[in-house]
Structure 1
């Protein structure tokens, strides 16, 4: 694998001017590499700074059986579309890494790996000062492409749980065999939590799942992958400014579904009929008991309502265009909780492991530019902030549904690269 990597440590002598670049890109994942692709095409000098190694997260924060939940044809990184023989399949972890390795090689980005960005702040004369673990740089423009999933969320109640229970975050889960014998409590039923619960369930482990408010969708409906239908319906081209929720859609939890074994629904009710124990949202641990909200029935009903609503929108599309397709259907529950169980003694239940799968918080504490709202999320319009020459790329719903995915990052990166080229260093210094 060829990388245009700069390995010599950068040391800025006292009183020396920092090394200057027209553009610095923070983050060497698919977002940073995508904008590098277009900057290279435009002949714009730049440098990608990566705290670890390129596409590090894909290699280190995915479980062994991980696979894409969107079909392979949606892998459309710039200049590097999916070229395999299974466009409607779902790449597994090793195939995803091979795909990314090919992208890294094709882009050949100028990159400094193992370089942590410690601060980015405006310079009085214009542009930005970028302090890193390997020296100080200045830049006319900065693209923040480090994603929005930085700090795993673990509630403070975790501190009070028995020391005998092993606790890990979803990013650290690898496979059922790595966990101690005993039951496993998975907290959170978003995309990762639901798939990890399934992975454990298929391995024959006793699973207790604290179900959240995540919606779900069908894998296949009326003869096609739901993703194919939604693509034809132009859902993936819908900008956030035209979405009914507007910017509120950025707070939505992803629908749970899987591409495992060729793709299928994840039906938590079916798992319950097979022995998985379902509870509502985990709220607390006290007096030796786990305490859950009495909202399991509502969460399951709401998830199914979303499932049926998406399918109904496909029905309408088919009817309006006179498309020949298998008949419509409505999901009906295969299991309903008889009552809401609100407490559980983890020792009596034999729980040996808790997997926290309740998401991540963004951490942009190193970015010393006032562009954030009260929840630490950057204010921007299609990645462009109110501060001249500062951009974000790769965030969920930055512009469309695919902004944080392989499917839509190219469009966003090309757009920002065009603005960067039009802006120019002279304009930056005059700002």
Structure 2
């Protein structure tokens, strides 16, 4: 007989486990299906020197919070992995590891049918908690780069020693790209960095971590429905900064002074393998600085309005500007033997055979609730607020979904 559950949660990262905690508290019969192992992405998809960019005090999951001796610090990759694993153990989460979901469909009469690597299942309710970053994105132009040059995605990067000797090209300056470029730079590698449009933020300002100021200002509580950027915020790039060595700014201009080579946007690779570069470097650097400065303006306004006694400090002054905008890059001439593509991920929900997606493959939802009764998503970037895809607000999102599912759970189960 086909196994039936009241609820099935797909994914055993912090989002899926948060959902499981709430279901457990409500006594809801459920199981968490994980294609790999609990929290595996924190180990499998991060480099050796990875740290969170949000302070430890923001690591609060339902019924569980960071309780170490460094609340203002930033957990390393291994510590984050241990944190999430211990969370699963804390309430004996009903996780089935190494069970992949191949397809999810609606059933006639209600509920859902799942085809998994361990057989078929049915459920009244399903929560898809697999995040929004699934397939590594590498642009097609990468195929025109010489096969003598090693190419990896940022999710595969571990450390500089694992790359061939020689200079390294990093493409992208989101959080991963900027931090990987720093990691290689600190290892003494010659780094060439293609800068994108990612904004930056200062680590500390006026005596506190900027995250702490923004938390007090309520920035992390603004819902996407009330945000000036609207639904477009779901596609925005996060600010680059680092939690490494206690936390600091990532200043690409300072890296340039220290020998890192910076470039504008990569536009093409010609038939001879020469990279064509748009002259956008100065514009990108200025735009990133403007965002960081704007955040400081908001913090200043908050401090003044609240009458807070906080130290003052001078504003950032650019320490470097490009004398000329490079328009091409010859990998061989520059001694570049490897490329790290840090240009993001693509969504992959092809296995969800339910009509709840928009024209670009994004789940159509309001706070994770879709138009298909009993089907929800959790852990999406900007699902409701800035912190939805991170530790900061996944607990709140999970509670909301648990309450929503409870409101419909009194109906007759779908059966087997």
TM over 0.5: yes
Match of 2:121 among 129, 137, 150: 137
Q: Give ranges in structure 2 of 5+ residues lacking alignment.
A: none
**Hey, what does 1:11 align to over in structure 2?**
none
**Hey, what does 1:261 align to over in structure 2?**
245
Residue 381 (str. 1) matches residue 366 (str. 2): yes
Give CA-to-partner distance per residue, 1:59-99, whole Å, 9 cap, x none: 11111101110110000011110100110011112221221
Give CA-to-partner distance per residue, 1:186-212, whole Å, 9 cap, x none: 000000000000000011100000000
Match of 2:282 among 297, 303, 309: 297
Q: In 2, distance between residues paired with 1:202 and 1:175?
A: 11
Match of 2:191 among 180, 187, 207: 207
Q: In 2, distance between residues paired with 1:48 and 1:321?
A: 45
Q: Tell me, yes or no, if the aligned pair for 2:123 and 2:414 is still in contact at 8 Å.
A: no
1:328 is displaced (CA, Å) by 4.5
1:427 is displaced (CA, Å) by 5.2
Q: In 2, distance between residues paired with 1:157 and 1:107?
A: 48
Residue 246 (str. 1) matches residue 242 (str. 2): no
* Secondary structure at the counterpart of residue 411 of structure 1: helix
201-210 or 320-329, which deviates more: 320-329
Match of 1:355 among 317, 320, 340: 340
Q: In 1, distance between residues paired with 2:413 and 2:130?
A: 22
Q: In 1, distance between residues paired with 2:132 and 2:161?
A: 30
1:284 is displaced (CA, Å) by 1.3
Q: Tell me, yes or no, if the aligned pair for 1:27 and 1:144 is still in contact at 8 Å.
A: yes
Q: Tell me, yes or no, if the aligned pair for 2:104 and 2:115 is still in contact at 8 Å.
A: yes
Q: Note closer, same or farther for the CA distance 1:384–1:368 as it changes in structure 2 (3 Å cut).
A: same
1:313 is displaced (CA, Å) by 0.2
Residue 417 (str. 1) matches residue 402 (str. 2): yes
* Secondary structure at the counterpart of residue 225 of structure 2: helix
* Secondary structure at the counterpart of residue 337 of structure 2: strand
**Hey, what does 1:335 align to over in structure 2?**
320
Greater than 2 Å deviation, 4+ residue runs:
425-430
Residue 184 (str. 1) matches residue 168 (str. 2): yes
Q: Tell me, yes or no, if the aligned pair for 2:144 and 2:273 is still in contact at 8 Å.
A: no
Q: Tell me, yes or no, if the aligned pair for 1:184 and 1:354 is still in contact at 8 Å.
A: yes
RMSD: 1.2
Match of 1:149 among 101, 116, 133: 133
Residue 320 (str. 1) matches residue 305 (str. 2): yes
Residue 271 (str. 1) matches residue 255 (str. 2): yes
Match of 2:296 among 299, 311, 319: 311
* Secondary structure at the counterpart of residue 411 of structure 2: helix
Q: Tell me, yes or no, if the aligned pair for 1:217 and 1:265 is still in contact at 8 Å.
A: yes
Match of 1:368 among 347, 353, 360: 353
Residue 89 (str. 1) matches residue 54 (str. 2): no
**Hey, what does 1:49 align to over in structure 2?**
33
Write the mapping of 1:211-226 to structure 2, written as runs, cut at 5 A.
211-226=195-210
1:428 is displaced (CA, Å) by 6.0
Q: Tell me, yes or no, if the aligned pair for 2:38 and 2:85 is still in contact at 8 Å.
A: no
Q: In 2, distance between residues paired with 1:288 and 1:138?
A: 52
* Secondary structure at the counterpart of residue 126 of structure 2: strand
Give CA-to-partner distance per residue, 1:313-355, whole Å, 9 cap, x none: 0000011111111114322211111121110110000000100
Q: Tell me, yes or no, if the aligned pair for 1:388 and 1:428 is still in contact at 8 Å.
A: no
Q: Tell me, yes or no, if the aligned pair for 1:186 and 1:354 is still in contact at 8 Å.
A: yes
Q: Tell me, yes or no, if the aligned pair for 1:396 and 1:403 is still in contact at 8 Å.
A: yes
Q: In 2, distance between residues paired with 1:73 and 1:127?
A: 39
Q: Tell me, yes or no, if the aligned pair for 1:141 and 1:428 is still in contact at 8 Å.
A: no
Q: In 1, distance between residues paired with 2:73 and 2:137?
A: 32
Q: Tell me, yes or no, if the aligned pair for 2:224 and 2:233 is still in contact at 8 Å.
A: yes
Please give the TM-score of this superposition, normalised by the length of structure 1.
0.94
Q: Give ranges in structure 1 of 5+ residues lacking alignment.
A: 1-16
Give CA-to-partner distance per residue, 1:229-272, whole Å, 9 cap, x none: 00110111111111111111111100000000110000000000
Q: In 2, distance between residues paired with 1:330 and 1:244?
A: 26
Q: In 2, distance between residues paired with 1:317 and 1:414?
A: 30
**Hey, what does 2:49 align to over in structure 1?**
65
Q: Tell me, yes or no, if the aligned pair for 1:389 and 1:428 is still in contact at 8 Å.
A: no
Q: Tell me, yes or no, if the aligned pair for 2:102 and 2:117 is still in contact at 8 Å.
A: yes
1:426 is displaced (CA, Å) by 2.3
Q: In 2, distance between residues paired with 1:233 and 1:364?
A: 35
* Secondary structure at the counterpart of residue 387 of structure 2: helix
Q: Tell me, yes or no, if the aligned pair for 1:216 and 1:255 is still in contact at 8 Å.
A: yes
* Secondary structure at the counterpart of residue 81 of structure 2: helix
Q: In 2, distance between residues paired with 1:30 and 1:186?
A: 29
1:288 is displaced (CA, Å) by 2.4
* Secondary structure at the counterpart of residue 24 of structure 1: strand
* Secondary structure at the counterpart of residue 391 of structure 2: coil
Q: Tell me, yes or no, if the aligned pair for 1:180 and 1:352 is still in contact at 8 Å.
A: yes
Please give the TM-score of this superposition, normalised by the length of structure 2.
0.98
